[in-house]
Amino acid sequence: MRFQLRDQAGASRSVAYLLMGAGPFMFITGVVLPDNRTVTGVSVFAVLTVVLGLGGAICRWRPERVPTVMWLLAPYLGIALVTTLNLATTDASTGAQFFYLWPVLYAANFLSRIANYLVLTLVSAGNAAVVFPIEGANRGLSDWASLTVAMILTAIVVNSLRLRNDRLRDVLETQAYADPLTGVANRRSFDGELARAVAWANRGNESIALLTIDIDYFKKINDTWGHGVGDMALQAVADALRTVARREDDVVGRLGGDEFVVLLRTDRMGARRAADDLRAAVAQIDSLPSGPPGLSIGVAVLPDHAGTAVELGTASDAALYQAKQGGRGRTAMAHPPTPLPVSR
């Protein structure tokens, strides 16, 4: 997105620490250190110290009270504050201009690339508005160019580190939530997807289907052809499962061993068709020396057979057990729950 916020918790802490640090700094530089104090100057800096301190405390301990748009506007407000104070104090020193580093770092860490460009442009403009009137054209040009280049290089370094961190996080998330052999969701990931799908179905009075699949006589494949062929069979079945999980919200998972699950946002007839399509896809596998594996499939549908995630999983497992007991290589549909007897 063109304008977006990454890590609101981190952004709120960054703003909080800036404000809580800026308050005492302004008190020292505006009230304690100046030789020629005026009542107006001391009053202004004292009020700013209190306001910044209170603002920092709210951002740190009550960030939910701050509108989200403020986290997006924070670096621009910071640029305006630094520029205004530097002009008011006629301070074009390196130390005063160094405060422009905060909005650059903030944008590089928490905002989009376009926001980074805008922040760098405004920092450069704000610095120019300070140094040229105070220092004159020659020295002002040198200081302005130095700070602008330094800020650009800083943003480049921070952005590169941020992108590297994002890539590492994506790798770790994949390792944490995907089965390493087949690439489908692992049990941890699938349980979360199932809970979200059940909440969606109950909220909108929709149907979802859960298919639980076992590869028939998988141990025999391993014993006869070796574990390498067994792994190939698992990968081939996972690929076939992906062909029936076509929608964006459909999920394929491996719960362990040769047991797979498919979560579909469909009704009973759609689940039955998906099971038939899966068998057809597996029957076309020609890359295994053991031949296409057989499948036993149990199907359960919410709300037809269950009302919760646990009940749906139990009903699908029971249907799978029924398919195995019936001779394997078949699909079994779960039975509607038995109504409780009415007490008299």
Q: Which sequence positions are flagged as catalytic?
A: 258
Helices 68-88 and 113-135: angle between axes, nearest 10 degrees:
10
Preceding amide of 133 cis, omega within 30:
no
Contact predicate 71/12, CB 8 Å: yes
| Sign of the CA dihedral with 86 first, then 90, 92, and 96 last | negative
Structure tokens, 265? 């946002």
- Stated as kind and residue range, the H or E segment containing 210 is strand 208-215
Task: Compute the radius of gyration of the chain from its Cα atoms.
Answer: 31
| Other beta carbons less than 10 A from residue 149's beta carbon | 11
Q: What residues contact 244, with CB distance under 8 A and at least 6 apart?
A: 250, 262, 264, 274, 277, 278, 281
- CA 337 to each of CA 98, 111, 296, 303: distance values in angstroms, whole numbers, following the listed order: 69, 51, 22, 10
Say if CB 186 and CB 241 are below 8 A apart. Answer: no
- C-beta separation of 85 from 19 below 8 A: no
Which of 114, 100, 80 is closest to 147 using CA atoms? 100
3-state secondary structure of 213: strand
Is residue 71 within 8 Å of residue 32, measured between CB atoms?
no
Q: Is 339 helix (H, G, I), strand (E, B) or coil?
A: coil
